[in-house]
Structure 1
Amino acid sequence: MKGTVYKSTGSWYTVKAENGKFYDCRIKGKFRLKGIKSTNPVAVGDHVEYELEETSDTVTGVIKTIQERENHIIRKSVNLSKQTHIIAANVDLVFLVITLNNPPTFTSFIDRFLVTCEAYHIKAVLLFNKIDTYTLEEKGEIKYLAEMYRRIGYTCLGTSAITGTNVDEVKTLMTGKTSMFAGHSGVGKSTLVNAIEPTLDLKTKAISEQHAQGQHTTTFAEMYDLDFDARIIDTPGIKGFGVVDIEKEELGSYFPEFFALKEHCKFNNCLHLEEPHCAVKNALENDELDWSRYRSYVQILEGDDEGFRRDIYDSP
């Protein structure tokens, strides 16, 4: 039998069968013996083959095969730095939900996330959320950031679940696709999803004032079918986002504005650091590129995997 994984709790997976029924499934032990470095070999969005097992009172399944993925998005495991965690698989579109404050989202986090999307061939859209809560000055900061990322080629929208700002535009982008919403805890992912599809009634919690961070209301990834021909994957809040499995020589290719200039560098393997006649460095000096993007690039290149404020995003 074939189906799609809609929910993962670590040991059990909810699989939607081709006939629309849902079954609780587990995986065969050998999945963990195939050299898979991920903490979760099966992810929400995976297309799988499984067999049903019936007892006197329950029907459960055993996942036998994971079909080849179109793509997936991963991050470093929180506690096991040598392992990765697959957030979701077979994603058409990922929305990164961003807040200027309450809690703050720094450009280093945004850039790490975008690099991973580029590397794994997933289209990303930036949602600057809670737009109704900002002062005029703060709205100016958001406008500056949005214009910076639009110049690179990313779609940026200001959103508010309270006022409904651009909620319909987000729904239009989602139609016919499997979308994922990601971001720090407390940026309003669940509230925004509830505005998009009120019948879901996803749980939300207030921001923790002590740490200016959200409380983790979503503890595992789960996919939902929506009323307007769309599927959504809701994910746990992400504290940090370490870039995984990208060689130094490849990194510049995942910064689109750097990649566009690469052919004009003197050296084919230019890392855009101290090399002479570097088109990227020249563009920076001429204010044709944004220094915050370059700082993120250097941080990743130097292995500073968590170049964001640990004191804000890491729990004590």
Structure 2
Amino acid sequence: MKGTVYKSTGSWYLVKTPDGGQYQSRIKGIFKLDEDITSTNPIAVGDMVEIVPEEAEGSTAMITQIGERRNYIVRSSPHKRVHKHIVAANLDQAMLICTIKEPRTSLGFIDRFLVTAAAYHIPAILVFNKKDVLKEKDLLRFREVEELYTRIGYQVLLVSAAKEEGITTIQDLLHNKVTLMSGHSGVGKSSLINRLLPSLQLRTKEVSGWSGKGMHTTTFAEMFDLPDGGQLIDTPGIRELGIIDIPKTELSHYFLEMQAYITECQFNNCLHVNEPGCAVKEAVEEGEIHIERYVSYVAILESMEDEKY
């Protein structure tokens, strides 16, 4: 029997079948020993699986096979830095919820997310929430960030879950697609999802006053069916996003605005830092590549050095 994984709690998986059936499912032991599975979680939300119900009238099942993934998005495991954790699989797009303030989402974090999405050929959308708390100087900063990313080719939105501004636009973007929604804790992701799916009433918490960082409200990744078609995958708030499975010489390929210059560099394996004849550095100096993006690139490259990728 075929089904789709809607929720993963580490040991049990909620699997839904095309006829509307729901099964609390476990992995057959062989998957835990499979040498080809190098992630800390062999099955992720969005995976297509084969299940065998354990009882004729029961609601539990055994997962016997994992379907081939069309794509997936990963992060370094929060527990084992050298291992990867699959966040979700078989995605049409990824939506990163950001904030200019309360808390501030750094461009470095945004760029890490965009690199990961690009590496797995997943279109990404940037949604800046909490428009209602922005003052004039904050709006000016948003416009700068918006110009930076739209110039590259990314779609950027400014919305307010609290005031229900921009919700219709998000609904249109989600229609009939499987979308991963991610972001730092405290950016209002759960509030946005509550606007999109009022029946859920996901728990929300205020940003921590002493740290300026959001409090976690989502513990496990979970997929929800949207009323007008499509699925939305909610993920736990991410504090850090380690890059994994990308060689250092390929990192620049996933900074979309660098792609046009890579082949013009003097050396094929140019890292665009200290090498002579580097077309990427020249493009930065001429303003063709934004300096903030280049700073992010170098910071990510150095972190990959630390992590020995």
Q: Which residue of 2 aligns with 1:313?
A: none
Q: Which residue of 1 aligns with 2:283?
A: 283
For the Cα contact (< 8 Å) 2:182–2:234, is it kept in 1? yes
Give CA deviations for 1:37-83 in whole Å, capped at 9, x if unaligned.
Answer: 2111110000000101018x843100011100011001011121121
**Cα RMSD, aligned residues only:** 1.6
For the Cα contact (< 8 Å) 1:5–1:45, is it kept in 2? yes
Q: Where do 1:76-155 residues align within 5 Å?
A: 76-155=76-155
For the Cα contact (< 8 Å) 2:221–2:233, is it kept in 1? yes
* 2:227 is equivalent to residue 227 of structure 1: yes
For the Cα contact (< 8 Å) 2:243–2:304, is it kept in 1? no
For the Cα contact (< 8 Å) 2:4–2:15, is it kept in 1? yes
CA distance in 2, matches of 1:195, 1:302: 39
Q: Which residue of 2 aligns with 1:248?
A: 248
CA distance in 1, matches of 2:149, 2:184: 19
- Offset, 1:306: 9.4
Give CA deviations for 1:137-173 in whole Å, capped at 9, x if unaligned.
Answer: 0011011001101111100000111222221111111
Q: Which residue of 2 aligns with 1:193?
A: 193
- Offset, 1:300: 1.8
CA distance in 2, matches of 1:68, 1:168: 34
Q: Where do 1:69-80 residues align within 5 Å?
A: 69-80=69-80
> What SS class does the counterpart of residue 215 from structure 1 fall into?
coil
For the Cα contact (< 8 Å) 2:97–2:182, is it kept in 1? yes
Q: Which residue of 2 aligns with 1:50?
A: 51
Structure 2 unmatched ranges of 5 or more: none
Report the TM-score when normalising by structure 2: 0.95
Q: Which residue of 2 aligns with 1:218?
A: 218
Give CA deviations for 1:272-294 in whole Å, capped at 9, x if unaligned.
Answer: 11222211111111122111111
> What SS class does the counterpart of residue 303 from structure 2 fall into?
coil
Give CA deviations for 1:78-99 in whole Å, capped at 9, x if unaligned.
Answer: 1211211111001111110001
- Offset, 1:251: 0.8
> What SS class does the counterpart of residue 104 from structure 1 fall into?
coil
CA distance in 1, matches of 2:258, 2:265: 10
Distance 1:294 1:155, change over 3 A: same
For the Cα contact (< 8 Å) 1:299–1:305, is it kept in 2? no
For the Cα contact (< 8 Å) 1:242–1:306, is it kept in 2? no
Give CA deviations for 1:93-124 in whole Å, capped at 9, x if unaligned.
Answer: 11100012211211111111100000011110
CA distance in 2, matches of 1:119, 1:72: 10
CA distance in 2, matches of 1:260, 1:31: 42
CA distance in 1, matches of 2:226, 2:200: 9
Q: Which residue of 2 aligns with 1:157?
A: 157
Report the TM-score when normalising by structure 1: 0.93
CA distance in 2, matches of 1:75, 1:306: 16
Distance 1:306 1:128, change over 3 A: farther
Structure 1 unmatched ranges of 5 or more: 308-316
For the Cα contact (< 8 Å) 1:240–1:306, is it kept in 2? no
For the Cα contact (< 8 Å) 2:49–2:67, is it kept in 1? yes
How many equivalent residue pairs?
Answer: 306
CA distance in 2, matches of 1:243, 1:124: 16
For the Cα contact (< 8 Å) 1:242–1:305, is it kept in 2? no
> What SS class does the counterpart of residue 232 from structure 1 fall into?
strand
CA distance in 2, matches of 1:217, 1:160: 19
